[in-house]
Structure 1
Amino acid sequence: MPFLELSLVVRLEQQPSVEDALEELGALSITLRDADAETPDEQAIFEPGVGELPLWSTITLNALFDAGADRRGLSEALGEFLPWLEPDQLSFAEVADQDWERAWMDQFHPMPFGRRLWIYPWNIEPPADEELVVVRLDPGLAFGSGTHPTTALCLEWLDGLELAGRAVTDFGCGSGILAIAALKLGAAHAVGVDNDPQALTASIDNAQRNDVAERLTVSLPQDFDSAPADVFVANILAGPLGELAPTFAAAARPGAPFAISGILDGQQDELLARYGEWFEQLRVDARDGWIRISGLRR
């Protein structure tokens, strides 16, 4: 019998609350695995005892649901239970009964996005090609390596813009991948916003690795007080996207290109109506069941 597998990548201290949320949503089983393991065959923990925690610093939780479970409903419910959750931490897959212990993502490798942008893991040397724009990335304790469809959609959108001299805001920055990519593509300055302090630390570290740290500012949402940006991008879940629409509108100057992602297919109509109050020329792009909405600030 096939199942719907919901995978979440979290830090050790987040595991208990995530597991409680998955159980509340009716998960049939929950498997915990070292998110940094190089092979899917390394030790997993099945239904740990009360009070027991794995020793890993970053954990993949694989939760099985009935094949007909509502992905949109699960995503929205998790967003309510876990308001800090970001789309790069969330993945759905249909799996056969015999495959339910598989790893949720392939080993991180060089990936192209758009015409010239590439994301490279830190341990692989890119070719000497002046036409390529390369971001060297160590996702570390935060999330966002380009493997998730929402990140890929945002990276490709950034690659298609003329960013030279512009100020960019990346809301829900995670590893800093979008802000750093914008800077490598020519942006003059970028602001990365995230409610996880470790994400801000990872963003700064990755910016230093890419020699753009002096042009990156990071901020918690409650401290975010930046001038309206020339370009605005937010890669968070659909619930917060709806709630924060007025904040995002105020954070983008008139005429600024904007993009939002972290939206499951089926959630876009409500957001299109919501954002239509402040943004125009709206378009929808999709990848693997995830949606990006882009347009211009009125």
Structure 2
Amino acid sequence: MPWLQLKLTTDRDSADPLEDLLLASGAVSVTLEDNADQPILEPALGETPLWDQVRLTGLYDADIDTTTVTQRLAQAWGAELPEHYWEQLEDKDWEREWMSHYQAIRCGERLWICPSWQEPPEPDKVNLMLDPGLAFGTGTHPTTFLCLQWLDEQPVEGLDLVDYGCGSGILGVAALLLGARRVTGVDIDPQALLATQANASRNHLADDAMPVYLPERCPAVTADIMLANILAGPLVKLAPTLQAKTRTGGKICLSGILANQAETVMAAYRPWFDFDPVAEREEWVRLTGTKVRD
């Protein structure tokens, strides 16, 4: 289906009201992007910050009258619209377009993460066949890669793990394929739980190998290894919960953390854990350690 896009450049204060106007004028979606190379890598708790310069993109059906829509927007805005232009969005099968760019990823000596629609590059290795669906976790992000690389190095055979914030299930499924006995998946997003179950099934794992739960429904389990690839803020808040679900002598692997946040996160867990040296990739870090105190 062909589409038209209206792109506007504006400032932080005007972004929200312009977004509302675009939606009211018939846009089926509006995207906000940084227009001045000003990264916001992780907002503080409770914040939803915007960049100083914002580019809005409204997506419209191709059969609209662009002149009429522009005039109505200007009238509703009460002034001349900020810098803007219309463009035609190329008509593609966007799902297939994304699939064509997602390639297999090697995550250590044994483990490969492979798109479910491709043949594994090394069939004799441990190949996790993945279709992330609508959930986070493809192995391409530095935080996920760092966790997978660490898992590849661990003797997980016969162990019990918890994957807290399981997303697509990529970490838990990888652990099972590497020999773990059982993984408990936890996520606040029901879509993530469905994606995890689908990916476990896709990799021919037993139905009960990776049960999944919303946090409030998670049973009282303890793990030999606790995995949590989330964000720094939630990890700090979850420290008492995650330590309680980790056995004494067990290991923890935390990611979703920027390099300048590592010390804050470690401080929240030091009452229970001794940490290994920090691993870093593209400004993101992975924290691993051993539980030595109850």
Query: Do the aligned partners of 1:76 and 1:239 also contact (CA within 8 Å) in 2?
Result: no
Describe the SS at the equivalent of 2:247: coil
* 1:68 shift after superposition: 5.0
Tell me: CA distance 1:268–1:138, structure 2 relative to 1, closer, same or farther (3 Å).
same
Counterpart Cα distance in 1 of 2:278 and 2:162: 20
Q: Secondary structure at the match of 1:183?
A: helix
Counterpart pick for 1:235 among 220, 229, 232 = 229
**What amino acid is aligned across from residue 240 of structure 1 in structure 2?**
P
Equivalent-residue separation in structure 2 for 1:136 and 1:169 (angstroms): 20
Q: Residue 286 of structure 2 is aligned with which of 281, 287, 292?
A: 292
- CA offset digits 1:126-156 (Å, max 9, x no partner): 15643x1000000111111001111001100
Name the structure 2 match of 1:283.
277
Indicate yes or no: 2:201 matched with 1:208: yes
1:275/1:27 CA distance change after superposition, 3 Å? farther
Please point out which of 181, 187, 192 is paired with 1:194: 187
2:153 to 157, 160, 167: 160
Give the 3 Å change call, closer, same or farther, for CA 241–27 of structure 1 in structure 2: farther
For residues 277 and 14 of structure 2, what CA distance do their matches in structure 1 show?
37
Q: 1:80 aligns with which of 43, 46, 61?
A: 46
Counterpart selection for 1:135 from 128, 132, 146: 128
Q: Deviations over 1:10-36 (max 9, x none)?
A: xxxxxxxxxxxxx9x949979xxxxxx
Higher RCO structure (Cα 8 Å, ≥6 apart): 1
SS in 2 for 1:261: strand
Cα distance, 1:223 vs structure 2: 1.0
Please show how residues 98-113 of structure 1 align to structure 2 within 5 Å.
107-113=101-107
Alpha carbons of 1:203 and 1:68: their partners in 2 closer, same or farther (altered >3 Å)? closer
Deviations 1:165-202 (A, max 9, x none): 00110001000000000000000100111000010001
Where do 5+ consecutive residues of structure 1 fail to align? 1-22, 31-44, 83-100
SS of 2:113's equivalent in the other structure is: strand
Unaligned runs of 5+ in 2: 1-9, 49-88
What is the percentage of aligned positions where both structures have the same residue?
41
TM-score (structure 2 length as normaliser): 0.71
Q: Which runs of 4+ in 1 moved over 6 A?
A: 27-30
Separation in structure 2 between the aligned mates of residue 169 and residue 51 of structure 1, nearest angstrom: 46
Q: Paired residues, what number?
A: 231
Q: Highest Rg: 1 or 2? A: 2
Provide the rounded CA distance (Å) in 1 between the counterparts of 2:144 and 2:259: 15
Structure 2 counterparts to residues 1-298 of structure 1, below 5 A: 26=12, 48-50=22-24, 52=26, 54=28, 61=31, 63-64=33-34, 66-68=36-38, 71-72=40-41, 75-77=42-44, 80-81=46-47, 107-127=101-121, 129-130=123-124, 132-214=125-207, 215-298=209-292
Distance 1:269 1:286 in 2: 13
Contact 1:272 / 1:282 at 8 angstroms: preserved in 2?
no
